[in-house]
Structure 1
């Protein structure tokens, strides 16, 4: 039985999960539009470092600045490197080569990879139902990639798919570790440090890979980066920390299924992308696979 405090935390986490899904669903469209102005690694850097500075300022203003204790360093570096660098940078690079709708579905296969990741790292049982869900989800991945029709001679297309799937795997490992970690410092106070780790690494990667950027600053670019920075990164990462702490990994995974749905609809409405029957079927298969792979686990929580 959950205590009253645990029940309150869980209700709050569910509400934040809904906001997180909406934020990230719209953020994908804005991220795709930002790539018209800025190269992919600089896109992630320009939206994370300002968010980091703002959250440090907010923590200072509210008296919530904490130096992470030794016990929390693993979660600082795991989220900072796996999610904020691994996932964000890889999918940003992949997004320049693939349509937004297809990218969203591939990137948000991360809950699918939580099943084998939880088995490997947490020793959660790999039941028949979870295996079936994994196979169904993988069939959706194969369908969306359409290997028989893919132009394997085009390195950009191949790398786009590889970057998206690798980024999804990085995020899956981050989700699993966020659930098992014994938090000492409140997630809000840890967030600026996670963003600092991610932002510094992103800055180094941007300078090494893409060099000094030459950017044509327009009002649209400022608005796009503003949303990516404040909502898509700052608030979203804070909400992700809380829901990962207060909800089972399976519940978080299932809730995040709403992101590709919202992203697909928005990519069609605002970017004029044609969804196509294979993409829709693939999305359904992946979502069904994730549900089968996680629903049994979260009912036991």
Structure 2
């Protein structure tokens, strides 16, 4: 594929995932949070099945790939998405996407402690910048520590980021047999089956009015936020280096803040902007240091699944 077309697709992915945050916030007006995640996952699973059939890439996972199907399906597509949706009830979409993208802050030290990866100076500085960005978000002058709902919501988003970090760490050590895209349908299927009983248990069976607005928002979240985005990511991964892909995905929180501003009228304050700059800069340092270090691996990447050759 042409490099410029691949870069265009990467920007499209970042926009799709950035727009997903205000879309999730809008859906909370009509659907309980866990049911949003289940319905979006169900739509995405069906869309991925269609894409796999159309591309003739539907395969049965090998036994060796079952752990990564379960880890991504449970840690990322289920736990991360569920905690984010719950947290969005109390936190603005723009702030939530910045909190979620603190993931590299947790991945870098965890990779050092658990996987024995070398903690280079740029990565250490990157983690420090990310932590400073986090402290800016929770500055007592800007954050209401007396608001229990706000503390609860922010905590849920940070827990979501930890689940995403755990998923990335396992992806890092997994020995791939089946190409990642072929496993995405099965990961989404696992998430859909797990999310249904969780939603029923915690939220009961809701009365949902599936008007045009709700249907379009769910279709966007499932079709573009899951199926199209994952297909495009696979295409991009085959065309440009993973470090460049990771850098491109740092556009997600930028698009997320911008889309939340436009769609939800969430005007970003100075603290959020400074925090986003620090956290993104920290992630960028970790990614770029990986590119210059042949002895380290892509564990800091927000999309760290390698694409083996078919």
Scaled by the length of structure 2, the TM-score of the pair is: 0.85
Per the alignment, do residues 171 and 242 of structure 1 end up closer, same or farther by CA in structure 2, a change over 3 Å counting?
farther
Alignment: residue pair count? 294
2:223 is the counterpart of 1:230: yes
1:57 Cα deviation from its structure 2 partner:
4.1
Equivalent residues of 2:51, 2:227 under 8 A apart: no
Q: Secondary structure at the match of 2:30?
A: coil
- Bigger drift between 284-293 and 168-177 goes to 168-177
Q: Which residue of 2 aligns with 1:4?
A: none
Deviations, residues 88-118 of structure 1 (Å, cap 9, x unaligned) = 1111111110111111111111233221233
Counterpart of 1:101?
A: 94
8 Å Cα contact 2:10/2:248 also seen in 1: yes
2:13 match: 20
Q: What residue is the counterpart of 1:209 in the other structure?
A: 202
Instruction: Report deviation, 1:245.
Output: 8.4
- 2:152 is matched with 159
Deviation at residue 146 of structure 1 after TM alignment: 2.3
Q: Which moved more, 1:18-27 or 1:116-125?
A: 116-125
Q: Which residue of 1 aligns with 2:30?
A: 37
Q: Is residue 67 of structure 2 the alignment partner of residue 74 of structure 1?
A: yes
Deviations 1:110-146 (A, max 9, x none): 2332212332343221122211211111111111122
Q: Could you say what the CA RMSD is over the residues aligned between the two structures, in angstroms?
A: 2.6
Is the contact between residue 137 and residue 143 of structure 2 (CA under 8 Å) also seen in structure 1? no
Residue-by-residue CA offset, 1:14-44 (whole Å, 9 max, x unaligned): 5543322111011112111111111111001
Q: Determine helix, strand or coil for the equivalent of 2:149.
A: helix
TM-score when normalising by structure 1: 0.87
Could you tell which deviates more after superposition, 114-123 or 84-93?
Answer: 114-123
**1:122 corresponding residue in structure 2:** 115
Distance 1:20 1:162, change over 3 A: same
- Greater share of helix: 1
SS at match of 2:267: coil
Once residues 78 and 246 of structure 1 are traced to their aligned partners in structure 2, the CA distance between those partners, rounded to angstroms, is 26
Give ranges in structure 2 of 5+ residues lacking alignment: 295-310
Q: 2:47·2:222 contact (CA, 8 Å) conserved in 1?
A: no
Q: Deviations over 1:216-258 (max 9, x none)?
A: 2211111111100100122223445666788777555433210
Q: 2:44 touches 2:221 (CA, 8 Å); kept in 1?
A: no
Q: Which runs of 5+ in 1 are unaligned?
A: 1-7
1:181 aligns with 2:178: no
